[in-house]
Chains A and B, each alone.
Chain A
Amino acid sequence: MPLRSIINTARTLSYYTRLQQTTANNLANVSTAGFKGDRLTARQSAGDPHPVPVQAIDLRQGTLRDTGRPFDLALKGDGFLVVQTPQGERLTRGGSLGIGNDGTLVDNHGDAILGSDGPINVSGRRVEIGTDGSVSVDGKSVGQLRVETVADPSTLTKEGAGRFIPGGATQAATSVTVAQGALEDANVDPLLGTVDLITIQRAYAANLDVLKTMDGVMGTVTNELGRV
């Protein structure tokens, strides 16, 4: 019995290590525009005595911060912009965009942000992006941003650089507002994150104590019990 407990406690310790890593990654990205935190929970499924860690991307809205820079885009509501990357189409929550040297709207990596007819040429003097995602340059319409949602958010995989790989089909978003001249702050609460860190640290120490106790019990069982 003590051996089983030791194994279970070790699994719990590894869960807390992973939780610490997830929290550390959330906190490292506290200043990353459009970042969505990860949530790690333990779930007990039927027929299995051990809780299994379950991870989910926290897709809650981040606070919008006004910057006044015309190429800063943020989204309000459940949806993503679409980026054309060499690996295929990716989803992103927007951020600090810019113009490529060919005049198209691109992200930090120079990959095109897609409109309904492909990349959008925004070279001109005054670029206006409407709340519905319509793009006009000097008063002339030049395209419509693709804003899409996924049916099941749990199929999303993070790729880094604020990009998500859609696991299934995407469809046009209906309840999203595009905000020009604004950035979406990371949806990570640094205060809650710090509290989480303390909780994790304490829970880890407590489980370690359990492990030590079980180790002591094992020692007694093997060394003392057989003695006459």
Chain B
Amino acid sequence: MNPGLRTSASGMIAQQKMVDVIANNLANVNTTGFKRSRANFEDVLYETVQGPRTSAGDATVGPMQIGHGVRLAAVTRIHGQGGPEQTGRPLDLAIEGEGFFQVQLPSGDTGYTRDGSFTLSDSGQLVTNSGAALVPNIVIPPDATNITISESGSVSVTSGKNAQSVEVGKLELARFVNPAGMLSLGGNLYGETVASGQPTTGVPQEDGFGRLLQGTLESSNVEVVQEMTDMIAAQRAYEINSRAIRAAEDMMSSISDLIR
């Protein structure tokens, strides 16, 4: 059996994974707060047929090693800032800079998100699209007429005939040493993992946290042109690896023809 077959197959599998990642990025090109991912590959174990040696009266000859292809090393999420998209809706929030909104998950854990398209629950709580309440909990009085959220996260309302706005709560953000290590939970939510480290919470605009923009949403950081170019490259590389399989197969079949 020619090990070159498996080597080329690993190349095809890798390019397939690349297309999978690109397809997911492209599918989420309009998802609020979405962060694109990138497939990273690495070469796999080498079989050392012969170590480096010095041939008689000659310079050193390099080692003889047979590589066994490629594998997916990591899918890295790239936490670059997405562009701000004006919506004018008072409960839409974008974070410009670092930080995540914290939400209460049904499981009791805290989820983290960059998607700031909030709504109000029946009890006046500020909740995400899926109904998860923000941490810390913020309740808007039922008679509130105007909601203002400052860049530093202070939520104030005016109610009834009272023209004076009253602060009803303060939004907090969380930050991780290694945000790329967080787990995607779906629904624009991320979870804390061992790799991400412990969250640090704080007030927007302080200690390196980003500022909040009311009436704005953060669009996804996927660039369609870049994804398309990557996709073409992956497609060609896939073809070349299948060509290598055909070559190896041809060589194998002709040698087996020798036996009469």
- A and B bound? yes
Alpha-carbon distance between A209 and B167 when the two chains are bound, in angstroms: 89
Q: Which residues of B contact A32 (CB under 8 A)?
A: 41-43, 70
Q: Are A27 and B240 in contact (CB under 8 A)?
A: yes
For B63, the chain A residues whose CB sits under 8 A away are 55, 156-157
A17 B64 Cβ-Cβ under 8 A: no
Whether A18 is near chain B, meaning CB under 8 Å from some CB there, is yes
Interface centre among A21, A95, A198, A200 (most CB of B within 10 A): A21
Tell me if A78 is interfacial: C-beta within 8 Å of chain B: no
Contact among A28, A45, A156, A212 for B258, CB-based, below 8 A: A212
Taking CB as reference atom, which chain A residue is nearest B13?
Answer: A28
Say yes or no: A21-B52 contact (C-beta < 8 A), given A69-B80, A154-B60, A201-B247: no
Contact B70 A154 (CB under 8 A): no
Main secondary structure of the interface of A (DSSP, over half): mixed
Q: Which of B1-9, B113-121, B148-156 contacts A (4 or more CB under 8 A)?
A: B1-9
CB contacts (< 8 Å) of B55 on chain A: these are 45
Shortest beta-carbon distance, A6 to chain B, in Å?
11
Q: Which of B82-90, B135-143, B175-183 faces chain A?
A: B175-183
Contacts of B234 in A (CB 8 A): 31
Instruction: Give the size category of B's interface with A.
Output: 35 or more
User: Is there contact, CB below 8 Å, between A29 and B11?
Assistant: yes
Fill in one digit per residue for A14-47: 1 if any B CB lies within 8 Å of its CB, else 0.
Answer: 0011101111111111111101001000000110
A-chain residues with CB within 8 Å of residue B3 when the two chains form the complex: 21
Is A125 touching B208 in the complex (CB atoms < 8 A)? yes
Shortest Cβ distance from B244 into chain A, in angstroms?
5
Give A28 to B66 CA distance when docked, in angstroms: 13
> B90-124 vs A: 1/0 string, CB under 8 Å?
00000000100000000000000000000000000
User: Is there contact, CB below 8 Å, between A101 and B195?
Assistant: yes
Name B38's contact: one of A96, A155, A159 (CB within 8 Å): A96
Contact of A30 with B237 in the complex, beta carbons under 8 Å: yes
How far apart sit A198 and B248, CA to CA, in the bound complex (Å)?
A: 10
A51 within 8 A of B: no
Question: Contacts A24-B7, A55-B63, A154-B61; is A31 near B41 (CB within 8 Å)?
Answer: yes
Contacting residues, chain B, for A198 (C-beta < 8 A):
247
Residues of B that sit less than 8 Å from A by CB: 2-4, 7-8, 10-11, 14-15, 18, 38, 40-46, 48, 51-52, 55-70, 73-74, 76, 78, 80, 98, 177-178, 180-181, 194-197, 208, 233-234, 236-237, 240-241, 243-244, 247-248, 250-251, 254-255, 258
